[in-house]
Amino acid sequence: MAVLVVQWSAKRQCHAKGASEAESNERVVLGGNAAGKADTIVPMPIHPIVIYGEPVLHQRAEKITDFDEELARLVSDMHETLDASNGVGLAAPQIGVGKRIFVYHAEDDAGIRRRGTFINPLLIASKVPDTRPDPDDETEGCLSVPSLDFPLKRADRVTVNGVDETGQTVSLTTEGWFARIMQHEYDHLQGTLYVDRLDRRWSKKWKKEQTANGYNVPGRSWTPGVDPDPFGH
């Protein structure tokens, strides 16, 4: 029981650090082997993921202007955090950093596995169909809304133009599921989460779940590889 208390208090410190100091990639290593090691601090690339209600998720992220080592480290940490989370995309605001960056690891519609980074992206999307989303094929989840998913209609085709962490131009045109990921991640940079876009029926369900799960208060996070996977991967 005592260990559990130490873990939770350590995580809160860790979260506060992530939210206020974008340049810090230190975190407290929890648990492990012998008792008494729980307060060891070492640099770690995996960042806590903040949850709906944290202000950084709900505001427009800032443009990147300096393509320096610090940016390269942040992007590398985002890829490691995404790997550990078993997700398909991660935007910087989700680790408490209000900058226009997202990374993705996912298969496209041709079955090709893609890993990539978009910085300062622009997204051009086809029209979102004015029909009801299919719960079997059009259900979305988000690492910042743990354990929940809801159907949402998205544009079928998008083009994303941006740069990578070295400032090199990156451009992508894609369809279907992969286009959905691009729209979801781009939305994060605008301060919009997929649950903010649900139609009336699903929005009602989300509001209930939001209250039940406490996804309306700032200061909450979970850490991939430390906390249980909220999506059961």
Nearer to Zn ion (CB atom), residue 74 or residue 92: 92
User: What gap in Å lies between CA 175 and CA 179, rounded to an integer?
Assistant: 5
Residues 1-30 as x/- pattern, contact with Zn ion by CB under 5 A:
------------------------------
Instruction: Say whether residue 103 binds Zn ion (CB under 5 A).
Output: no
Nearer to Zn ion (CB atom), residue 30 or residue 118: 118
Q: Pick out the residues of the known binding site.
A: 142, 184, 188
Q: Is 26 a catalytic residue?
A: no
Strand 139-141 with 113-125, pairing: unpaired
- Tell which positions 118-157 bind Zn ion, by CB under 5 A: 142
Size of the site for Zn ion (CB under 5 A): 1
Among the options 80, 140, 165, 185, which is catalytic? 185
Nearer to Zn ion (CB atom), residue 75 or residue 142: 142
Q: Where along the sequence are the contacts to Zn ion (CB under 5 A)?
A: 142
Which residues form the catalytic set? 185
